[in-house]
Amino acid sequence: GAGVSQSPSNKVTEKGKDVELRCDPISGHTALYWYRQSLGQGLEFLIYFQGNSAPDKSGLPSDRFSAERTGGSVSTLTIQRTQQEDSAVYLCASSSSTGAGNTIYFGEGSWLTVV
């Protein structure tokens, strides 16, 4: 079946511009996560959505970052006034539920380069 789908795959943007990254989770998955991975670094948690509950935004690095999830499915991560340090791969993942032991499945990521 279809996995987690992310778009765009690659994005080059000028410093100061806004970007939107999209994630379409696996059908039926209620939990959705955004992580960021800078070159040669580990995965950094950004935000978590579960059903209709308020999202856990504790990982967002600044108020330039925001995310929403419409209809409990597709999610959009928005970065305003991009900076060079925002350059990274943004990974979306989904899970069928949030019980302990549930596997999360990643999309291929959106590679963002800020020039």
Q: How far is the CB of 105 from another protein (least distance, A)?
A: 8
Which member of 24, 36, 48, 86 binds another protein (CB under 8 A)?
48
Q: How far apart are CA 93 and CA 31, in angstroms?
A: 8
Q: Is 30 a binder of another protein (CB under 8 A)?
A: no
Which member of 5, 7, 13, 43 binds another protein (CB under 8 A)?
43
Q: Is 98 a binder of another protein (CB under 8 A)?
A: yes
Residue in the block written with tokens 């959009």: 76
- At 44, give phi and psi (nearest 5°): -110, 120
Stretch that binds another protein, among 17-25, 28-36, 63-71, 76-84 (CB under 8 A): 28-36
Q: How far apart are CA 85 and CA 77, in angstroms?
A: 16
Q: Is 72 a binder of another protein (CB under 8 A)?
A: no
Q: How far apart are CA 27 and CA 24, in angstroms?
A: 8
Q: Is 109 a binder of another protein (CB under 8 A)?
A: yes
CA 76 to centroid of chain Cα atoms? 7
* Number of neighbouring beta carbons within 10 Å of residue 113: 13
Applying CB under 8 A, the residues found at the interface with another protein are 31, 33, 35, 41-43, 45, 48, 50, 56, 58-59, 91, 98, 100-109
